[in-house]
Amino acid sequence: METPLETFEEPAASEVEMVAPPTWETPAEEEPAAPPSGREAPVETAAPTATLEGLELTVTAGFAEVLGEFRDKLCFAVELHSATALELPESAEFHELRAVGGLMDRDEAGLLGYARALLMWRDKHRYCGRCGSPTISINAGHVLKCSNATCNLQHFPRLDPAIIVLVSDGERVLLGRQAHWPAGRYSTIAGYIEWAESIEEAVAREVREETGVIVDEVEYHSSQPWPFPSSLMLGFIAHAITTAIERTDMELEDARWFTRAELADGVVALPPEQAISFRLIETWYDRNAERPLRAEPNAKTASFAPRPR
């Protein structure tokens, strides 16, 4: 199963977005008329103008999502289809959120992550999954309704829960790597939760599928939102009953056991310190180490920066 965490794919140009608290003046929203049947796109209303800290930006009504109030300002997410859609000051530039989110204030990064996930959800649900008709944005962009009056299905933002787990046999941890990761990079085991299984069952299944190791004593640790595009990572620590590694589904390029000494010596590059995978490793490491993992001068950590083109 595809691991949802920490892929290093360079985003497509259409994924670039800007979020800002604009001053917004637009007529009151009216209920759209019932569109004709078939696949004709619904007609958009007039384009209002938003002022983004002095920058003029014309946005077609229905293509700005209301995020709510943030630090006493009403915030919207506006989708820009290219980095040249808005003329920026010389001191400003676009960056992929994955690369800079860890450097930002947690609340600001959370707002941008929320906006990114909402825009990407909308982009992937432009047509009704039941009848194929175009969808119409309602409820300030948080619901997409089928434009076919006969169907009238409403689509809501999706969230994909996933587990991520630190497996230990006591003195060692089980880490794996994907083929497209930077050389020497290893991380914890992760995967999506499937229908009709509990979170604990998902932990045991993912570890066994990817490494062949059987676990028990699954202990919840913490969680982390991962809006790339729409995951919620649920972190666990589990005890290994068996230690023989067999990559049955071949999703991982490699999987190995590592000691605390090897992590401290920088034998492998660990996940970025902002990632839940690093926190899981850190929790295990610090329980029986002479000094914290973050204090080890030779320990290596990776970054969220996308791979060069």
User: What's the whole-model pTM score?
Assistant: 0.73
pLDDT in tens, 24-42: 333 333 343 344 344 444 4
The amino acid at 249: D
DSSP state of 249: S
- Listing DSSP states for 135-192 in one string gives EEEEGGGTEEEES-TTT--EE----EEEEEEEEE-SSEEEEEE-TTSPTTB-B-EEEE
Which whole number is the average pLDDT over 205-231? Answer: 93
| Residue ranges of domains in the chain, CATH in brackets | 13-155 (3.90.79), 160-301 (3.90.79.10)
Q: What is the pLDDT of residue 90?
A: 81
Lowest mean pLDDT among 15-19, 142-146, 229-233, 296-300: 15-19
Checking if the pLDDT of 15 tops 60, the result is no
Burial classification of residue 25, based on how many CB atoms lie within 10 Å of its CB (0-12 exposed, 13-18 middle, 19 or more buried): exposed
* Contact of 243 with 256, CB cutoff 8 Å: no
**Which token pair is 96?**
């992929």
* Contact of 205 with 213, CB cutoff 8 Å: no
Measured CA to CA, the distance from residue 75 to residue 115 in angstroms comes to 10
Checking if the pLDDT of 263 tops 60, the result is yes
The amino acid at 5: L
Compute φ and ψ for 278, nearest 5 degrees: -65, -40
Closest CA to 50 of 81, 77, 88, 83: 77
Q: What is the pLDDT of residue 218?
A: 96
Checking if the pLDDT of 4 tops 80, the result is no
Question: Does residue 229 have a cis bond before it (omega within 30 degrees)?
Answer: yes
Burial classification of residue 244, based on how many CB atoms lie within 10 Å of its CB (0-12 exposed, 13-18 middle, 19 or more buried): exposed
* Contact of 162 with 5, CB cutoff 8 Å: yes
3-state SS, residue 66: strand
